[in-house]
Structure 1
């Protein structure tokens, strides 16, 4: 599920392991959480507070809050703008 840019080409990047909702995934160094999860087939990041509807990345540039998830050591983060880090644990946000 990765797209390689034809002008930039492929750059060798280190593989990073992280977890989301207690499932272990691998991403590439420099990926945001949202990109890494999308590449692993994970599209639903949380459910809406009002109607419990699935939510994922919407704007992809940090302007909305649809992709907010929880990282234990710092709290809520936006999956579309937060870089993955080796061994980090992320969880769906529940109000």
Structure 2
């Protein structure tokens, strides 16, 4: 399994202790301090959000916090850029639908 060791914006990624967080209610593990997106990618997650109008999947694109393709709902707050947000123990991360934290409804 490959992990990011140097980020173009955050610099060198120091591998912290192994922590547990939730992704859409499931328990997942990653290393404290690494970007949330990196931990999700290592866990096989590539879709972070869906667009509101077309319901198209989005994931990591720029990986430097400039676009909004990696935004997710983190600890109940929508629009968190997971590519530059450090992972912490116990975070609750959910797929985002559109621009809000409201659950997706077909």
TM-score by length of 2: 0.75
CA distance in structure 2 between the aligned counterparts of 1:57 and 1:67, rounded to whole angstroms = 5
Q: CA deviation at 1:66?
A: 0.6
Cα displacement string for residues 21-50 of structure 1 (whole angstroms, at most 9, x for unaligned residues): 111110012211100000111111111122
Q: CA deviation at 1:53?
A: 1.2
Cα displacement string for residues 58-88 of structure 1 (whole angstroms, at most 9, x for unaligned residues): 0000000011101235443101010111011
* 1:38 paired residue number: 41
Q: 1:72 aligns with which of 71, 75, 78?
A: 75
CA distance in structure 2 between the aligned counterparts of 1:3 and 1:76, rounded to whole angstroms = 24
Gaps of 5+ in 2: 6-13, 99-106
Structure 1 runs (4+) deviating above 2 angstroms are: 72-76
Q: Greater relative contact order (Cα 8 A, min sep 6): structure 1 or 2?
A: 1
* Secondary structure, aligned partner of 2:97: coil
Inter-CA distance 49–89: structure 2 relative to 1 (3 Å threshold): same
Gaps of 5+ in 1: 6-10
Q: CA RMSD for the aligned pairs?
A: 1.9
